[in-house]
Amino acid sequence: MRPGYFSLAALSAIAVCMVSLAQDPERGRDLFEKRCSGCHALDRAKEGPPLKGVYGRAAGTVASFPYSDALKNAKVTWDAASLDQWLSDPDKVIPKNDMEFRVPAASERADIIAFLKKIAAEK
C-alpha cells in the first residue's frame, strides 16, 4: 500500500470507532442511573456532589459539599474532555481525590457526558 492511502479495513475500523462514540444522552441517563446514582444525585448531595450543572462548572465549587482538598484546589472546569478523562481515571486528572469509580468504556463515558451536558443546559 502506498503511503497516504488507507485500506478499506482501516477506513471501516475508523467508521466503527466514530459510530461507537456517538453520543446518546438518553442512554447516558440510563447509564447515569445504573452506574452513578449510588453516589450522586442530580439535585442534592449524596456521597458525591450533585451533578446537575456539573458540565461547565469548575471542580470543587458546590459550596454545600465537603470536597477533598485535591478537588477544592483543582484548576479544572468540567467539559467533555475533562469529564472523559475523569471518568476514565480520576486519579490521573486530580491525584488524591475521593472518587474511586471508573467508567472504562469510551462509549458509555460519551453517553453519560452527553446526558450531563444536556441537563446542564436545562433551566
What does the alpha-carbon distance between residue 84 and residue 95 come to, in Å, rounded to a whole number?
A: 16
Is position 98 within any domain? yes
Selection from 119, 100, 123 nearest residue 52 by Cα: 119
Which pLDDT does position 20 carry in this prediction? Answer: 45
Cα dihedral: 74, 21, 23, 5 (round 10): 110
Domain that holds residue 90: 23-121
**In total, how many domains does the chain have?**
1
The tens digit of pLDDT for each residue in 80-102 reads: 999 999 999 999 999 999 999 99
Question: Is residue 52 over pLDDT 70?
Answer: yes
| CATH code for the domain of 71 | 1.10.760.10
pTM, 2 dp: 0.81
Residue 70: inside a domain: yes
